[in-house]
Amino acid sequence: MTLFERGQIGRIRLHVMPTKRFKTFAISLFAGLPLSENAVTKTALAPFVLRRGTVSLPETKAFREKLDDLYGAGFGFDVYKRGDSQIVQFRMDVINDHFVSSDVPLLSSSLRFLGEVVTEPVTEDGVFRCKYVDAEKQTLTKRLESIVNDKIRYAAERCMEEMCADEPYRLHPLGKLDEISSITPESLYSQYQQWLREAAFDLYVVGDTTMEEVAALAKEAFRIEEGTPASYSVPSMRHEVRNVKTVVERMDVNQGKLNLGLRTNVGYGDEDYAASLMYNGILGGYPHSKLFLNVREKESLAYYAASRLDGHKGLLTIQSGIEIANYEKAVTIIKEQLESMRQGQLTDLEMNQTKAMIANHLRELQDSAYEMIAYDFNAVLSGKERTAQQLLDKIEAVTEEDIVRVAQLAQLDTIYFLRDQKEA
Amino acid sequence: METLDYKGVQETLYREVLDNGLEVIVLPKEGFQKTYATFATKYGSVDNKFAVGNDEPVRVPDGIAHFLEHKMFEEPTGDIFATFASQGASANAFTSFDRTVYLFSATEQIPANLETLIDFVQHPYFTDQNVDKEKGIIAQEINMYKDNPDWRVYFGLIDAMYHNHPIHIDIAGTVESIYQIDKETLYRCYETFYHPSNMLLFVVGGVKAEEVFELVRNNQARKTFKPQGEIKRFFEQEPESVKNPRKVTKLPVSLPKVMFGFKEKKTGLTGDALLLHEVTSKLMLDALFGASSALYQDLYEQNLISDSFGTEFNVSTDYAFSVIGGDTPNPDELLGRIRTAVEEALRTGIEPAAFERSKRKKIGGYLRMLNSPEAIAGEFTRYRFRDSDMFDLLSLYEKCTLEQVNDRLREHFDFNQLAISIVEKPDEQPVS
C-alpha cells in the first residue's frame, strides 16, 4: 500500500502521495472550523464568493476560461459537516502534462490557481466585491430552498435535524436561510479573514510528483500567515436516549420516506469502530443485509432499505421508501432487525459476507485518488491514525460477541416519516 | 486474441469474439487493486417490439427489460447478491434505453466472481411466485422516481419530443404495465436478447488478459446455445415534428425546473459518423452554453440560471436530441435569452477562442474519465453497441474543426424542432 508523505507549510499540513497510477493530479484542500451558530452561514457562503474571481482573474468569465485553458481542470468545492466541524473542501483535478502538449506546467498552475482562490480573492474597498456577494447570496438561498426537491435527501436531513435538535450538529452545513439576507460584503469578509486565521488547513496532492515539489509550489501558491496548523476537536460519542422521538411531516408525495436515527455511542477513534462497521454492514449496508432481505425481498415493502454509519458523530441512520399505508409494518420489521442483532442472531454467512464486502471496499479505495484522500483525512479529523490495511486486519478479527456488544450500545433515538397530505 | 494499442492514452486492449458470438474485451490496468467487469446485452427499454429471424413480431409490456434485470438476480439457490458477497464482490445492474448491464467490482477471487457473473446472467429462473413478488418492489421504484423532479423534467422532455418512438416510455414502465408481466414473456425476452451473440463482456483492472480469456472460453464451452437468427426490432414511424411543444408537470419544487430540447430531423447514423456527430454537437453546446461562455455568465448574473444549468446531447442511431436547462425562476425569459443567443450564433458562428477552449476542456475531461474503470467499461460498451469505438474520441476531439462545429450549429438549431419541459409547483402551494 502506498502511503501519504507528510509535511507542513506555515498553517497548512501537507499530505502527498507520489504515484504514476493516474492520468491526473488530484488536489484537495480541507478547511475546517467548529460548527457554530454564529459562523455557519458565513462560512458556507464564503467559498461561493471565492469562486467568482481572484486578484489576477477578477472577472468570473476569465476565471472560468483559465480552467478551460488548463485542459478543463476540474474545480469545485463542497461544504459539509463531520463530527462537530464544518468543513469546506476545495478540489482540483488536472491532467498530467505527459498526456497533452500543454504550454504551461499544469500542476504548478493549478496549485497557484487554488492558492489564489483561497487566499487572494478580488476585493473592492478592502472587502469582497459587492456584486459577487449579492449574486452568491441568491445562489446559497436557492441551494437551501432546493433541498426539499429531493425527498430522499430532504427526509434524511430532517431526521438528523430532529435527532440533534439540542446540538450544533442540527445545523445544516450550508447554514441558515433566514440569516443570508443580513450578510454584507464587510461582515462576510471579516468572517473570511477569521476563517483564514483559525481554520485547520490540510492540502492533499496525489499524482506523479514529490513532497519537495508540492511544498515548494504550495509555499508560492498560498499567501497565508505563518503559524502552526490548527487541529480538530473530537466530539463526545456518549449520548443517553430517554424516549424515542417520533416526527411525522406531510407533503405532496407519492411515496412515504421512513428514516430512523440511532446513537451508536462508538466513534471513529474507538477500539470498537471495526465492530460498529460490521454492525452497520450486517444490518443494512449491503444487498445481503438484514434490512434489504427482510424489508425488500421478503415483504416487497420497498425498493430501497439500507443503513449508513457516520463514525465521526456516532450516528447510524436507516432509510427506506415505502407505501404510506405500510408505515407501521415497516417500522415493526426494522425494529425486529435491531432486536435480532441485540440478541446475537448472527450467522457465519452474514459475518463472512460482511467482512468480505468491507475488505473489498477498503482495498478498492486505493484505485481512486479522491477515496484515498477521503480515507486519510479521517485520521486528521479523529486524531486516530489507522491505515486501510490496519482497519482491514481489525475487521477480520471482529467476533460475534463484539457485534452484540456494539448492538446493545446502539440506541434508537428518532423515527421520522415524510408522508402525503391525505388523512390517515 | 487481438491486441489493440492506444498509444495516445497509454492503454492496451485485448479482444476476442468466441465461437458462440460472445465478444470479450479485457483492459489490464497496472497497479490497480480492483477488477471491474460488466456483462451487457444490447437490449433496453426501447426494444418492446421484436422478432427473431422470420418469426411473427411480438409487442411486450412496457418496463419488461428492467423487470427482467431485477429477476435475473434470483437463482434456485437464492439471491445471487449473497454469492457475490461471500466472494467479496459488490454487484449491481442497470437498464437504460438501449442496454442492460450486469456488473461487479472486487479485489479478490476474481475468477470465481467472473464465473458467477457469467453464470447467473446465462441462467434465467422465473416462477409465477417470484415474478409476482417483484411487482411490489418495482412499483415502489416507480413511485420513487415519480417524486423525483429531475427525473420528471428529463422524461417530460423526451415525452414532449417523441410521438411513437419507445424512448418516450419510462424505462421501468408504469405500475399498470408491470402488472401485465408474466414468466412466459420474460423467458421470451430472455431467449431473444441474452444470446451470447447479442452480448459483450468487458473486464478492466488488475487482471492478466490471457487468464480472463481462458476462463471465459472454458466457461462458454460448457454451455450450449442454439444458433440464433438476426434480431429484428420494430419501431413505428416517428414523425419529424415534436409531439408537444410544451409539457408542464406539477410537483412541489422550490423553483421551476426547465429543459429545452431540439429534436434532430436527421437520424440513422452509425459507427464513425455517429461518433463525429456526437463530438461536434457536444463541442457546439459547450462553446455556446458552458460556464465560461458570455451567455452563461450573463444569465447567472441576472439570476436566470444557477449552478444546475447545463447541456447534454443524447444520440443513437434512431433518435437524437439536445437538452439545455436547469432551475430558473422564469422559464420563458430564459428561453427568450437562449433563443436570442442562438440566433446571434447562427449569424456569426462560434467564436474561435471559445471553440479552442471547449476543445481543451473536452480533451481534459476525456482523459480524466480514463482514471475510472467503471467509466471506461460503461462508455466502451455504450459506444460499442453503436458500432463506435470510445478510444477514437481523443483524436476526433483533436481533429475537429471550427467549421464542422459551425455546420453542426446551423443544422441543429431549428426552432420548429423545439420542445420544452417544465416542472413547477402546484398553484396552491401546500409545502410547509
**pLDDT tens, A13-51?**
999 999 998 999 999 999 999 999 999 999 999 999 999
Q: pLDDT-derived band of residue B428, with 50, 70 and 90 as boundaries?
A: low
A155 and A86 belong to one structural domain: yes
Chain A nearest-CA residue for B356: A69
Residue type, B353: A
HSE-up (13 A, CA, CB side) for residue A196: 21
HSE-up (13 A, CA, CB side) for residue A217: 23
Decide: B244 and B307 in contact? Cβ < 8 Å. Answer: no
Chain B nearest-CA residue for A251: B431
Q: Do B10 and A366 touch (CB under 8 A)?
A: no
Q: Is the pLDDT of residue B105 over 80?
A: yes
Q: Do B372 and A253 touch (CB under 8 A)?
A: no
Check residues A286 and B428 and name the one with the higher pLDDT: A286
**pLDDT tens, B355-405?**
999 999 999 999 999 989 999 999 999 999 999 999 999 999 999 999 999
CA dihedral A148, A153, A159, A161 (to 10 degrees): -70
What share of chain B in percent tops pLDDT 70? 99
A262 within a domain of the structure (yes/no)? yes
Task: Examine the residue annotation and report whether B411 is marked as an active-site residue of this protein.
Answer: no
**Residue A143 neighbours by CB distance under 10 Å:** 21
Mean pLDDT, rounded, for A172-188: 97
A103 and A179 belong to one structural domain: yes
pLDDT at B169: 95
Q: Is the pLDDT of residue B432 over 60?
A: no
Q: Is the pLDDT of residue B419 over 70?
A: yes
**Residue B421 neighbours by CB distance under 10 Å:** 27
A194 and A145 belong to one structural domain: yes
Is A359 part of the contact surface with chain B (CB cutoff 8 Å)? yes
3-state secondary structure of B428: coil
**Which of chain B's residues have a Cβ under 8 Å away from the Cβ of A364?**
33-34, 105, 107
pLDDT at A423: 75
Is A134 part of the contact surface with chain B (CB cutoff 8 Å)? no
Global pTM reads 0.92
Annotation: CATH topology of B246-424: Cytochrome Bc1 Complex; Chain A, domain 1 (3.30.830)
Q: Which three cell numbers stand for residue B428?
A: 396552491
For residue A163, the domain's CATH number is: 3.30.830.10
Q: Which three cell numbers stand for residue B404?
A: 464542422
Q: Is the pLDDT of residue B94 over 80?
A: yes
pLDDT at A3: 86
**pLDDT tens, B173-203?**
999 999 999 999 999 999 999 999 999 999 9
**Which of chain A's residues have a Cβ under 8 Å away from the Cβ of B90?**
286, 357, 360-361
**pLDDT tens, A145-175?**
999 999 999 999 999 999 999 999 999 999 9
Decide: A167 and A103 in contact? Cβ < 8 Å. Answer: no
Beta bridge partners of B291: none
The catalytic position among B69, B238, B264, B424 is B69
Mean pLDDT, rounded, for B256-268: 95
Q: Is the pLDDT of residue A222 over 90?
A: yes
**pLDDT tens, A345-356?**
999 999 999 999
Q: Is the pLDDT of residue A279 over 50?
A: yes
> Considering CB atoms only, which of A93, A138, A359 is closest to B88?
A359
CA dihedral B409, B414, B415, B420 (to 10 degrees): -70
> Considering CB atoms only, which of B82, B138, B364 is closest to A73?
B364
**pLDDT tens, A367-407?**
999 999 999 999 999 999 999 999 999 999 999 999 999 99
pLDDT at A97: 86
**Which of chain B's residues have a Cβ under 8 Å away from the Cβ of A322?**
140
Contacts of A299 (CB under 8 A, 6+ apart): A329, A333
Determine which of A255, A293, A358, A366 to mutate to test the interface with B (most B C-beta atoms within 10 Å): A255
HEC string of chain B equals CEEEEEHHHCEEEEEEECCCCCEEEEEECCCCCCEEEEEEECCCCCCCEEEECCCCCEECCCCHHHHHHHHHCEECCEEHHHHHHHCCCEEEEEECCCCEEEEEEECCCHHHHHHHHHHHHCCCCCCHHHHHHHHHHHHHHHHHHHCCHHHHHHHHHHHHHCCCCHHHCCCCCCHHHHCCCCHHHHHHHHHHHCCHHHEEEEEEECCCHHHHHHHHHHHHHCCCCCCCCCEEECCCCCCCCCCCCEEEEECCCCCCEEEEEEECCCCCCCHHHHHHHHHHHHHHHHHHHCCCCHHHHHHHHCCCCCCCCEEEEEEECCEEEEEEEEECCCHHHHHHHHHHHHHHHHHHCCCHHHHHHHHHHHHHHHHHHCCCHHHHHHHHHHHHCCCCCHHHHHHHHHHCCHHHHHHHHHHHCCHHHEEEEEEECCCCCCCC
**Residue A112 neighbours by CB distance under 10 Å:** 19
Chain B nearest-CA residue for A67: B361
A and B: number of Cβ contacts within 8 A: 198
pLDDT at A424: 63
A281 and A203 belong to one structural domain: no
A189 and A255 belong to one structural domain: no
Is A138 part of the contact surface with chain B (CB cutoff 8 Å)? yes
A240 within a domain of the structure (yes/no)? no
Q: In this predicted structure, which of A91-100, B64-73, B273-282 has the lowest mean pLDDT?
A: A91-100
Pairing of strands B90-95, B100-106: antiparallel
d(CA A19, CA A369): 10
Determine which of A300, A319, A395, A419 to mutate to test the interface with B (most B C-beta atoms within 10 Å): A300
Q: pLDDT-derived band of residue B33, with 50, 70 and 90 as boundaries?
A: very high
Chain A nearest-CA residue for B132: A300
Q: Do A24 and B9 touch (CB under 8 A)?
A: no
**Which of chain A's residues have a Cβ under 8 Å away from the Cβ of B89?**
360
A174 and A253 belong to one structural domain: no
Mean pLDDT, rounded, for B323-349: 97
Mean pLDDT, rounded, for A124-146: 96
Q: How far is A365 from chain B (nearest CA, A)?
A: 9
**Which of chain A's residues have a Cβ under 8 Å away from the Cβ of B294?**
61
Beta bridge partners of B420: B246, B260
Q: How far is B327 from chain A (nearest CA, A)?
A: 9
Pairing of strands A315-322, B35-41: unpaired
pLDDT at A404: 98
Q: How far is A124 from chain B (nearest CA, A)?
A: 18
Is A360 part of the contact surface with chain B (CB cutoff 8 Å)? yes
Is B369 part of the contact surface with chain A (CB cutoff 8 Å)? no
Mean pLDDT, rounded, for B107-121: 97
**pLDDT tens, A226-240?**
899 999 988 877 788
The owner of cell 421501468 is B172
Pairing of strands A123-124, A127-128: antiparallel
A112 and A190 belong to one structural domain: yes
A217 and A253 belong to one structural domain: no
Q: Do B357 and A69 touch (CB under 8 A)?
A: yes
3-state secondary structure of A302: strand
A141 and A252 belong to one structural domain: no
**pLDDT tens, B395-416?**
999 999 999 999 999 999 999 9
Is B408 part of the contact surface with chain A (CB cutoff 8 Å)? no
A46 and A85 belong to one structural domain: yes
d(CA B311, CA B288): 10
Q: Do A304 and B368 touch (CB under 8 A)?
A: no
- Residue in A340, A337, A310, A334 with CA at minimum distance from that of residue A322: A334
Q: Do B431 and A148 touch (CB under 8 A)?
A: yes
A404 and A267 belong to one structural domain: yes
Q: Do B367 and A99 touch (CB under 8 A)?
A: yes
A38 within a domain of the structure (yes/no)? yes
What share of chain A in percent tops pLDDT 90? 90
A310 within a domain of the structure (yes/no)? yes
Q: Is the pLDDT of residue A79 over 90?
A: yes
Mean pLDDT, rounded, for B57-64: 97
pLDDT at B266: 86
Count structural domains, chain A: 2
pLDDT at B286: 97
Average pLDDT, chain B: 95
Mean pLDDT, rounded, for A40-64: 97
Is A133 part of the contact surface with chain B (CB cutoff 8 Å)? no
Determine which of B109, B360, B398, B423 to mutate to test the interface with A (most A C-beta atoms within 10 Å): B360
Q: Return residue ranges of chain B for CATH 3.30.830.10.
A: 2-233, 246-424
A46 and A173 belong to one structural domain: yes
d(CA B201, CA B208): 15
Q: pLDDT-derived band of residue B430, with 50, 70 and 90 as boundaries?
A: very low
Candidates 3.40.630.10, 3.30.420.40, 3.30.830.10, 3.40.50.300; CATH matching B2-233? 3.30.830.10
pLDDT at A265: 95
**Domain, as residue range, for A283:** 245-419
